[in-house]
Amino acid sequence: MKKEQLKSFILTVLILIAVFLTTQIWFDKKLWPNGYNFFNSIEKMPVVGQIIDKFSTNKALNTASSFEDIMLPYRMIVSGANNARSVYLQDSSEYTVIKEKAFDVLDHLYATDIPKYTVISGGEWFQSLKGNSILMDYGTTMNLKLMLQIRKKPDSAISTLIEGFSEIIITPNDTESGGVYVYMRDNKSESYYRFSIAYDKQEVRNIIETYIGQKQQKYAFAFELNLQKTDKSIDVPVDRMYLDPLVLLPLDRVEKKPVLHMGNPFLKDVNTTVYEQVVQAFDLQPNNLRRSVNSNGTVSYIENKATVDISPNGRIDYKAVDENSGMLAETLYDKVNLVWEIASKQYNITVPNQPFVARINSDLSATNQENVSITMNYLYGGIPIIVDPASAGNDSCITAEFSENRLIKFSMLVRSIQKLEENSDAPFVLEALDKIYPIAHKNEQIDKVFTCYVVNEQEQTHNSSITWSVMQSNNIIIAK
């Protein structure tokens, strides 16, 4: 009997030890081999990942940007009779309704096996904006194939004509044949196309009539004012600026917008766990990395494959040791998805009480998709938040570089964004252009004119009011 009891006791102890050791292996990271994460690999399985997401308590807030959101048009511009025009940004309910209708039209176009199209002149393309129309302005060059992938649509015959585009125009076809026209310009070949599709033009008209807003002239495109480069000789002896024909100029002051307070989440004492989570977002294990703190307060994690620096001014930098070491992303879709995933994770870790709202602002139409730069900016109320180039050397809040399909650099300036009670006016756009003139290159085109908020990397906390900026030769100039 004693022998049996002893055996039972030993067996029980062994089982308990086995269970204890198993929990240690599963949950204690110190026992994991370099780079191994049993749960990480399980989480990434499609079905399991979806189940975990459903019950996860670490989801971003509902208004955060989804992967599709970061590729949406920057704004929708509805034009009607008497030069009436209204502009809707991403945060408005009107934008959502117009976008849904526009995408429905485009889905019809993309699904057509042999789309009917005509090659048109630039003049006709611009002319389409002067009547009833919906302009989807993406603010940067988009890749059509990538757009279709993100929207989970099959590739379209149109992607052989249009590689990169920045705008899409939809108008009702008022000729006898009826239907709807979709105008697209291929930025690469500078060819203009008008696609004709069988779609109920009255539905498009209804959207335009509903959302044209006040039937007044509040906006004009630069081409309507002839402020783009033309052959007309100018008798005035001045060094001119030229505007891109599609720069949209408000004829009055834009409406007041809230003042924002920008804060550096690393300004106050930050729990070590936050640093570790930041590192883990790059698929690295902090316990396997060498950690150091520089004299300027930058916390660095160094590993065989990459380094992660978290500086006290709120900048997170990831650098792969070489081109073979970075995180792999084979297709353009994978690259954009990776950047979005990392950026949204980092934001949720460092600013957990605010949604991550951002959009892409880099050219995605490059033929060489192995070596790509992707940049993003935060958005507030649909208005981009840019970094003052004078404070940081670049103007995007999030930048990523890929080489040979591997992420070799990722840099993100993290800021909390809070709306204050006060509102402010943006200066009249003409005043802003007057301020920019001394700094801008003369006799060169200004490609974009836009309202924005500006964050200064050198200032830990500051308020930011809406202002105007221009883009000229890929450089941002802020009207200060």
Partner 1 sequence: MVKKILLSLTLVCLIFSTVVLAAPGYVYLGDSGNTSGLITITRPDKDKDFSYDQGYYFSGIGKNGISVTLYRYDPNIGAYAKLYSNGAEQTFWVGASGFFWATLYLNYGDNYFIARAEDYNGTYQICPFLLTYQSSSMRGITVNFSDLPFVSSW
Cβ atoms of 237 and 437 closer than 8 Å: no
Q: Shortest distance, CB of residue 140 to partner 1, whole angstroms?
A: 24
User: Cα 221–222–226 angle (5° rounding)?
Assistant: 125
> Do 138 and 200 touch, CB atoms closer than 8 A?
no
Which of 4, 176, 235, 269 is in the footprint of partner 1 by CB under 8 A? 235
Based on the shown chain and the rule CB under 8 A, indicate whether residue 434 belongs to the binding site for partner 1.
yes
Contacts 24+ apart (CB under 8 A), 284-293: 284/308, 285/29, 285/32, 285/34, 285/35, 285/37, 287/29, 287/30, 288/34, 288/35
107 vs 121: CA distance, rounded Å: 25
Burial class (CB in 10 A: 0-12, 13-18, 19+), 39: exposed
Q: Is 152 in the site for partner 1 (CB under 8 A)?
A: no
By beta-carbon proximity to partner 1, the closer residue of 338 and 429 is 429
Please tell me whether residue 240 binds partner 1 under the rule CB under 8 A.
yes
Query: Under the criterion CB under 8 A, does residue 251 sit at the interface with partner 1?
Result: yes
Of residues 232 and 268, the one with the C-beta less far from partner 1: 232
Distance CA 270, CA 247 (A): 44
- The least distance separating partner 1 from the CB of residue 233, rounded to whole angstroms, comes to 8
What's the CA gap between 431 and 412, in Å, rounded? 32
Smaller CB separation from partner 1, 258 or 427 = 427
Nearer of residues 84 and 158 to partner 1, judged by Cβ = 84
- Phi and psi, residue 476, nearest 5°: -95, 135
- Asked if 438 touches partner 1 (CB under 8 A), the answer is yes
Question: Toward partner 1, which CB reaches closer, 62 or 82?
Answer: 82
Half-sphere exposure of 52 (CA within 13 A, CB side): 12
- Residue from 216, 288, 391, 463 in contact with partner 1 (CB under 8 A): 216
- 1 Cβ neighbours under 8 A, 6+ residues apart: none
Task: Give the separation between CA 400 and CA 282, rounded to whole angstroms.
Answer: 13
Q: Tell me which residues in 404-433 interact with partner 1 (CB under 8 A).
A: 430-431, 433
Tell me: does residue 217 bind partner 1 (CB under 8 A).
Answer: yes
Cβ closest to partner 1, residue 235 vs residue 269: 235
Q: How far is the CB of 221 from partner 1 (least distance, A)?
A: 9
Based on the shown chain and the rule CB under 8 A, indicate whether residue 230 belongs to the binding site for partner 1: yes
198 lies in the binding site for partner 1 (CB under 8 A): no
User: How many Cβ atoms from other residues are within 10 Å of residue 446's Cβ?
Assistant: 22
Is residue 443 part of the contact set for partner 1 (CB under 8 A)?
no
Q: Which two structure tokens, joined as six digits, stand for 345? A: 């994770």
Say whether residue 237 binds partner 1 (CB under 8 A): yes
* Phi and psi at residue 382, to the nearest 5°: 80, 0
Q: State in angstroms the smallest separation of the CB of 219 from partner 1.
A: 10
CA atoms within 13 A on the CB side of 213: 17
Q: Least separation, in Å, of the C-beta of 235 and partner 1?
A: 5
260, 420 in Cβ contact below 8 A? yes
Q: In 3D, which of 105, 72, 102 has the Cα closest to residue 89?
A: 72
Return the residues of window 297-336 that contact partner 1 according to CB under 8 A: none
* Interacting residue with partner 1 among 129, 227, 248, 343 (CB under 8 A): 227
Q: Give the interface segment with partner 1, choosing from 14-22, 151-159, 204-212, 228-236 (CB under 8 A).
A: 228-236
Pick out residues in 81-120 that bind partner 1 (CB under 8 A): 81-83
Q: Which one of residues 3, 152, 232, 268 is an interface residue with partner 1 (CB under 8 A)?
A: 232
User: Nearer to partner 1 by C-beta: 170 or 241?
Assistant: 241
What is the helix (H) or strand (E) element at residue 429, kind and residue range?
helix 429-436
Encoded one letter per residue, x for contact with partner 1 by CB under 8 A and - for no contact, window 59-88 reads ----------------------xxx-----
Least separation in angstroms between CB 427 and partner 1: 11
**Residue 436 touching partner 1 (CB under 8 A):** yes
Strands (E), 240-321: 242-243, 248-250, 257-263, 290-293, 299-302, 306-310, 315-320
Closest separation in Å from C-beta 155 to partner 1:
40
Report the interface residues with partner 1, using CB under 8 A: 81-83, 216-217, 220, 224-227, 230, 232, 234-238, 240-241, 249, 251, 430-431, 433-438
